[in-house]
Chain A
Amino acid sequence: MKKFLKATVAAVAFAAAGSAAQAADLKACFVYVGPVGDFGWTYQHDQGRLAVEEHFGDRVETAYLESVAEGPDAERAIERFAREGCGIIFTTSFGYMNPTIKVAKKFPDVKFEHATGYKTADNVATYNSKFHQGRYIIGQIAAKQSKTGTAGYIASFPIPEVVSGINAFMLGAQSVNPDFKVKVVWVNTWFDPGKEADAAKALIDQGADVISQHTDSTAPLQVAQERGVHGFGQASDMINFAKDAQYTAIIDDWAPYYIHRVEEVLNGTWESHSSWEGLAEGHVVMAPYTNLPEDVVAMAEATEQKIIDGWEPFTGPIIKRDGTVVAEEGVRLDDGAILGMNWYVQGIDDELEQ
């Protein structure tokens, strides 16, 4: 028993010494809402973390906590990182907003970056991407490719980001086929392969032959592959899971942002801000267009270029379901209206809880 204790103490001392020896200039830490192996949202954030490691080498050390539940667990996870000497902490889910703000108050010298929220502080920045730009493009592709004139849309939670995604998809589709239909199924989860697959099956049974998803697993695409219909990857390029089914994917590329912000902490130039960039800055990337005829690829590429050149998909005419005109011909919605969107555009076959 004594020997065992001695060995334990020695091992622990060794471990402590080991971690002290490789002291980097900065520790960048990440809190994830899902598992790093979801091949969607969290996977892409982790790719960003790995890019940081690769870019800075020994200068920056990283750590992460995965599948951290939103709520008190999140607050504790964030506080743990702050106490463990992290210089910058990325909290990558909307539900981490208030915990991030709370912990940030206690640790004014640590920089916090919260994804998809709206509360900032001197040491809390927010960042998000204009995913709706990609959704406009896939809406166009869906309308071009669908034989039934109906797309299925697997939606997670009715928050503005998801609602604006559905609207952008619909506007894109209507630009090709004004009578296009979108059926929406709410699954109330970001990641649940079983539920997502069931939703995909239900939508296909209802006549949808193109499936779009705002959930993170590869399950809907795999169902599309089995049933001989098509779909779009979400957050990451999911082509390996659906070789014949994926048209393209809206890829979240967090690497440029993470590297940039970590660099700023190292240089001492980090400041709080609200970052919201899209295709032009490379924060949103379209995966290669596959399983599509040439003219559709050409159309998608042209739209992509138009958006990169500064065009906004939410440009009028935009009409709500109840007939109210939100934006006249040629008028562009302001950022606030897009970020707080809680209404559907005309033509969407669903009711939104108000």
Chain B
Amino acid sequence: MRLELVKRKERSASMAVMSPLVAVGLTALAAAIIFAISGVNPLVGLYEFFIDPLTERWSLEATIAKATPLILIGCGLAVCYLSNNWNIGAEGQFVVGALFGSALPVLFPSFENALTLPLMLIFGAVGGALWALIPAVLKTRFNTNEILTSLMLVYVASLLLDYLVRGPWRDPDGFNFPESRIFSDAATLPDVFGGLMSLATPITIVIAIVLAIVLAKTLKGFEIRVMGESPRAGSFAGFSAKKLTIFSFALAGALAGLAGTMEVSAALNQLLPSISPGYGFTAIIVAFLGRLNPIGIIIAGFVLALSYIGGEGVQSGLGVSNEIASVIQGLLLFFVLACDTLILYRVRLVTRKVSATTGEPSHV
């Protein structure tokens, strides 16, 4: 006897929309059980985790601020994944983008005028795109596996940052501590709505909406989707898989690099040996949770950010371990993938007596 996954003849359109909601519901249920096991009233735990951060303005702002880089990176990754390019290295593109973007305020601190910020943002996007083009070119030229190359370049990027912050870019007035000089006001992305959120949030939302329209309404969007679903059909239509690989990696890298520059400019205000708590990796979850759709990604980014802020809330308020937040995030991805699988496939129980070729095995 064994379990078998059988491809469904047709997919339910309503379930495709429902599945993330079902996944969130199942996650909440599992979270409740975990809270109960760790000795916390599950209802109080769920409230503190999922609802309480939404009840106060500052925590709502903190959630949106945390979601911002996740959304921007996730949007770029969605284009990669839609077109069958497995860019796992957004974390590295984020870091290299931040380095390019920071070059101006770190190396030329006296360059302070209206051009400082726009130039930083452009450099950041270019830096991230260049870093992403390495695995893209390796893939199109030498047929290397982009999953490996993009992932490995994450470590190269982090160590490059580490080297610069401890060495040539170290703050001359910083007592040898590993940090760059603090950016001038001209190099700092302005805050919006009071303090926790910066201009990065509106910029991100605009980019997500533009990308949603491009994907849904334009030829480029059609090309991306066709090449992802059926590269053979796409090539008959005259689309080039190689060009699309270059395009999607460059776009994802540019958005990750822009996110990195905005994070460094607004939130950190300087370079540190570590500038990302894993945004580039978490954004992969965000991209899939958002159904690889920019509008979905906005919502998904918010949900995941909520899980961080809520995780801190239960920790400080109820004294629960912070690992709970990580467990709940993991469960969320698990349930999303499980629900997706069940949309495409159904499970049936196969008894050993029936041979596969006769079709119609008995199922329970």
> Which residues of chain A have a CB within 8 Å of any CB of chain B?
7-8, 11-12, 14-15, 19, 29, 35, 63-67, 69-73, 75-77, 79-81, 83-84, 94-95, 98, 106, 118, 157-160, 188, 339-342, 353-354
Binding site for A on B (CB under 8 A): 41, 43-44, 46-47, 58-59, 62, 65-66, 162-163, 166-167, 175-179, 182, 195-196, 263, 267-270, 272-277, 308-309, 312-313, 315-317, 319, 321-323
Asked whether A11 and B58 contact (CB < 8 A) given A69-B274, A69-B277, A157-B273, the answer is: no
- Contacting residues, chain B, for A71 (C-beta < 8 A): 267-268, 272, 274-277
Closest 7 CB pairs of A and B: A72-B267, A69-B277, A11-B43, A342-B176, A15-B44, A340-B175, A12-B47
Q: Tell me whether A157 and B316 are in contact (CB under 8 A).
A: no
The answer for the CA separation of A339 and B177 in the assembled complex, in Å, is 10
Q: Give min CB distance, A342 to chain B, whole Å.
A: 4
On whether the beta carbons of B263 and A72 are closer than 8 Å, the reply is yes
Total inter-chain residue pairs, C-beta < 8 Å: 104
CA distance A158 to B167 in the complex (A): 10
Q: Which residues of A contact B323 (CB under 8 A)?
A: 35
Contact, CB under 8 Å: A158 / B312: no
Q: Which residue of B lies closest to A99 (CB)?
A: B268
**Complex: A97 Cα to B309 Cα, angstroms:** 21
What's the least CB distance linking A167 to chain B, in Å? 14
In angstroms, Cα B313 to Cα A19, docked, is 14
With a CB–CB cut-off of 8 A, which chain A residues contact B270? 98
30 inter-chain pairs at a CB distance below 8 angstroms, sorted by A residue, are A11-B43, A12-B43, A15-B47, A35-B322, A35-B323, A63-B317, A64-B315, A65-B315, A65-B322, A66-B315, A69-B277, A71-B267, A71-B268, A71-B272, A71-B275, A76-B62, A76-B65, A76-B196, A79-B196, A95-B274, A98-B182, A98-B268, A98-B269, A118-B177, A157-B178, A160-B175, A160-B176, A340-B175, A353-B163, A353-B167
Q: Which residues of B contact A160 (CB under 8 A)?
A: 175-177
Nearest B residue to A36, CB-CB: B321
Contact check, B44 vs A63: say whether CB atoms are below 8 A apart.
Answer: no
| B106 → A minimal CB distance (Å) | 15
- Contact A7–B43 (Cβ < 8 Å): yes
A64 adjacent to B316 (CB under 8 Å): yes
Select from chain A the residue with minimum beta-carbon distance to B278.
A69
In Å, the complex CA distance between A77 and B309 comes to 9
Which residues of the partner chain A approach B175 to less than 8 Å between Cβ atoms?
118, 160, 339-340
Alpha-carbon gap, A159 to B65, bound state (A): 31
How long is the Cα–Cα vector from A239 to B62 in the complex, in angstroms? 42
**Cross-chain contact B177 with A73 (CB below 8 angstroms):** no
Q: How far is the CA of A158 from the CA of B179 in the complex (A)?
A: 12
Tell whether, in the assembled complex, residue B58 and residue A73 are in contact, meaning their CB atoms are under 8 Å apart: no
Which residue of chain A lies nearest to B163 when distances are taken between CB atoms in the complex? A353
Nearest chain A CB to B62's CB is how many angstroms away? Answer: 5
Counting chain B CB atoms within 10 Å of each CB, the highest count among A65, A83, A339 belongs to A65
B166 touching A158, Cβ below 8 Å:
yes
In the complex, chain B residues whose CB is within 8 Å of the CB of A188: 162, 273
The docked-state distance in angstroms from the alpha carbon of A342 to that of B166 is: 11
Chain B contacts of A19 at CB under 8 A? Answer: 317
Contacts of B41 in A (CB 8 A): 11, 15
In the complex, besides A95-B273, A98-B269, A118-B177, 8 extra interface pairs with C-beta distance below 8 angstroms are: A8-B43, A12-B44, A12-B47, A66-B322, A76-B62, A76-B312, A80-B59, A188-B273
Task: Give bound CA distance, A281 to B308, whole Å.
Answer: 39
> Is B166 touching A80 in the complex (CB atoms < 8 A)?
no
Q: List, in ascending order, chain B residues with CB within 8 A of A70's CB.
A: 272, 274
Of chain B, the residue at the smallest CB distance from A118 is: B175
CB distance from B181 to the nearest CB of A (A): 12
Output the nearest chain A residue to B318 by Cβ-Cβ distance. A15
> Would you give the shortest CB distance from A191 to chain B, in whole angstroms?
13
Chain A residue numbers with a CB within 8 Å of B182 are 98
The residue of chain A having its C-beta at the shortest distance from the C-beta of B162 within the complex is A188
A73 touches B176 (CB 8 A): no
Contacts of A353 in B (CB 8 A): 163, 166-167
Asked whether, in the complex, the Cβ of A65 is within 8 Å of the Cβ of B277, the reply is no
For A98, list chain B residues within 8 Å (CB).
Answer: 179, 182, 268-270
CA distance A90 to B346 in the complex (A): 53
